[in-house]
């Protein structure tokens, strides 16, 4: 009887070693002075900065969802890592915390070191944009669980905030101003519907050029989620924010009420922000009504901030100085309903 190896079962440990060597240079460039461990340790160490008096750690975890199917179709894997980081660090920001470090998990049917390097390069780029360190991760080769070309991603971010500066939304009141930050497109939610619209109903090829968008399907759909850390950190430093909502799965109707106290709603002027062409195209392809679109997608607003009206001008200036495209969406009102459009 011949000897059976792990590779015979579909797991190539040498490919795993190669992947680790390939990603080291990408990971290391995200390190800061608080990282106390190197890649390859059983656990990763990160020192809490001594400037904090009463630090609270805020954690967030997420994935990229079926947007990964688009990356696989296009054989382009260097942007979904940015999405992975964005989905986690943007959530952490909502509680007033600045990201400190990030960990990733990659599960795949076959460990292709070149593909893994592309994915991790994207994660590292996301960490640089999010000003956090990529201090650890795991790559699991799982034949029989995933098809050979398939993979999945999960991420985990930890941020830090002084206890007295945790954002809860309790101080929000009628008359407070709603400020929207423009999204980069669809971001990373609703892609089961996106794929149905573009490929089942629209019958587009992944490399098809669409005049209404001015780019190919792949270029539009693989645009990475915008990371808002650089824009929001100065606002946190000055204590300008009463509440923050990350517009992810569930769109406006699910996420905005999470930033509001009971008995209050967001009164939003639909004419105050620009809806990107991709959302208009999808609505047309699927004959989707407006309520469904705003219940599924970000519609061009990736984050919504709530500030006192006396601090709105200062907030807008800092955001614009940081390169954010901003919208004055409306105001908080004493009413039930969560989101009210006018």
Q: Is 121 helix (H, G, I), strand (E, B) or coil?
A: helix
CATH code for the domain in which residue 202 is found: 3.90.650.10
Mean pLDDT of 33-55: 90
Confidence band for 307, pLDDT divided at 50, 70 and 90: very high
pLDDT above 90 covers a percentage of the chain that reads 90
Distance CA 315, CA 209 (A): 38
Dihedrals φ, ψ of 39, to 5°? -60, 130
Pair 233, 303 in one domain: yes
Domain assignment of residue 191, given as a range = 177-341
- Residue 196 makes CB contacts below 8 A (sequence gap 6+) with 286
2 in a structural domain = no
- Of the pLDDT bands very low, low, confident and very high (cuts 50, 70, 90), residue 17 is confident
| pLDDT at residue 121, as a whole number | 97
Q: Are residues 265 and 293 in the same domain?
A: yes
Residues 98, 186, single domain; the answer is no
Q: What would the mean pLDDT of 251-260 be, rounded to a whole number?
A: 96
Confidence bin at 1 (pLDDT 50/70/90): low
Q: What is the mean pLDDT of residues 47-63?
A: 96
Higher pLDDT pick, 6 / 205: 205
Do 112 and 204 lie in one domain? The reply is no
Give the residue-averaged pLDDT of 67-83: 98
pLDDT at 4 over 90: no
Task: Compute the mean pLDDT over every residue in the chain, rounded to the nearest whole number.
Answer: 95
Mean pLDDT of the region 221-241: 98
- Degrees, nearest 5: CA angle 324-325-330: 115
Instruction: Report the alpha-carbon distance of residue 150 to residue 78 in Å, rounded.
Output: 15
Overall average pLDDT of the 34-44 stretch: 86
Assigned token pair, 156: 């985990």
The pair of three-digit structure tokens given for residue 213, joined into one six-digit string: 């968008």
Q: Is it the case that residue 141 has pLDDT exceeding 70?
A: yes
Q: Is 37 inside a domain boundary? A: yes
**DSSP single-letter state for residue 294:** H
Bridge-partner residues for 159, per DSSP?
58, 99
Q: Looking at the structure, do residues 136 and 188 belong to the same domain, yes or no?
A: no
pLDDT tens digit string along 151-180? 999 999 999 999 999 999 999 999 999 999
Number of folded domains in the chain?
A: 2
pLDDT band at 18 (very low <50, low <70, confident <90, very high): confident
Look at residue 213 and tell me whether its pLDDT is greater than 70: yes
87 & 42 share domain:
yes
Position 41 scores a pLDDT of 81
Give mean pLDDT, residues 66-86: 98
Do 14 and 130 reside in the same domain of the chain? yes
Residues whose CB is less than 8 angstroms from the CB of residue 274 and which lie 6 or more positions away in sequence, other chains included: 182, 300, 327
Q: What average pLDDT score do residues 121-125 get?
A: 98
Q: If you write DSSP's letter for every residue of 187-235 in order, what string do you get?
A: TTS-HHHHHIIIIIIS---TT-EETTTTEEHHHHHTPPPPP-HHHHHHH
Instruction: Report the pLDDT value the prediction gives residue 11, as an integer from 0 to 100.
Output: 83
- Do 68 and 123 lie in one domain? The reply is yes
Domain assignment of residue 53, yes or no: yes
Sheet containing 55-63: order of strands: 55-63, 151-162, 98-108, 133-141
Say what the pTM is: 0.95
Surface-to-core class of residue 206, CB atoms within 10 Å of its CB (0-12 exposed, 13-18 middle, 19+ buried): middle
């Amino acid at each position: 009887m011949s000897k059976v190896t792990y590779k015979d079962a579909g797991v190539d440990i040498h490919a795993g070693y190669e992947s680790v060597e390939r990603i080291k240079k990408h990971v290391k460039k995200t390190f800061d002075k608080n990282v106390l461990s190197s890649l390859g340790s059983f656990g990763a160490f990160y020192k809490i900065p001594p400037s904090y008096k009463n630090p609270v750690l805020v954690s967030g975890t997420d994935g990229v969802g079926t947007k990964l199917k688009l990356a696989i179709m296009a054989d382009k894997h260097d942007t979904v890592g940015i999405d992975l980081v964005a989905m986690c660090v943007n959530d952490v920001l909502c509680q007033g915390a600045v990201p400190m470090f990030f960990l990733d998990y990659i599960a795949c049917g076959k460990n292709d070191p070149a593909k893994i390097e592309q994915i991790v390069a994207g994660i590292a780029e996301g960490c640089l944009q999010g000003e956090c360190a990529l201090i650890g991760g795991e790559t699991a080769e799982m034949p029989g669980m995933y098809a050979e070309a398939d993979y999945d991603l999960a991420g985990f971010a930890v941020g830090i905030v002084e206890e007295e500066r945790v954002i809860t939304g309790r101080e929000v009141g009628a008359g407070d101003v709603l400020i929207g930050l423009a999204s980069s497109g669809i971001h990373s939610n609703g892609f089961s519907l996106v794929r149905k619209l573009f490929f089942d109903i629209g019958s587009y090829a992944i490399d098809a050029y669409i005049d209404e968008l001015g780019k190919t399907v792949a270029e539009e759909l693989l645009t990475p989620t915008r990371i808002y850390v650089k824009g929001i950190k100065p606002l946190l430093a000055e204590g300008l924010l009463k509440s923050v909502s990350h517009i992810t799965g569930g769109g406006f109707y699910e996420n905005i009420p999470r930033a509001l106290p009971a008995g209050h709603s967001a009164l939003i002027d639909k004419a105050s922000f620009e809806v990107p062409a991709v959302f208009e195209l999808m609505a047309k392809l699927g004959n989707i009504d407006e309520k469904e679109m705003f219940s599924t997608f970000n519609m061009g607003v990736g984050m919504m901030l709530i500030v006192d009206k006396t601090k709105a001008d200062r907030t807008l200036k800092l955001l614009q100085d940081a390169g954010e495209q901003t919208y004055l969406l409306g105001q908080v009102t004493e009413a039930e309903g969560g989101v009210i459009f006018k």
